Amino acid sequence: MTGIFTIGDAARESGVKVPTIRYYEEIGLLPSPPRTEGGRRAYGATDLRRLAFIRHARELGFEIDAIRTLLKLQDEPDQSCAAADAIARDHLAGVERRIASLTALRAELQRMVEGCSHGHVASCRVIEILADHGECAHHQGGRA
pLDDT bracket for residue 132 (50, 70, 90): confident
Query: What is the Cα–Cα distance from 120 to 125, expressed in whole angstroms?
Result: 10
Q: Please write the tens of the pLDDT for every residue from 41-66.
A: 999 999 999 999 999 999 999 999 99
Please give the Cα distance from 71 to 65 (Å, whole number). 10
Tens digits of residue pLDDT in 80-120: 999 999 999 999 999 999 999 999 989 888 887 877 767 66
pLDDT at position 141 over 60:
no
* Percent of the chain surpassing pLDDT 70: 88
Contacts of 67 (CB under 8 A, 6+ apart): 29, 54, 57, 58
CATH class (in words) of the domain with range 1-79: mainly alpha
Asked if 16 and 57 count as a contact pair (C-beta separation under 8 A), the reply is: no
* Burial class of 43 by CB neighbour count within 10 A (0 to 12, 13 to 18, 19+): buried
Q: Mean pLDDT of all residues in the chain? A: 87
Distance CA 76, CA 69 (A): 11
Identify which of 13, 76, 74, 73 has the alpha carbon closest to the alpha carbon of residue 43: 13
On whether the CB atoms of residues 48 and 13 are closer than 8 A, the answer is yes
Comparing 25-34, 117-126, 132-141, which segment has the lowest mean pLDDT? 132-141
At residue 110's C-alpha, the angle toward residues 106 and 114, to 5°, is 175
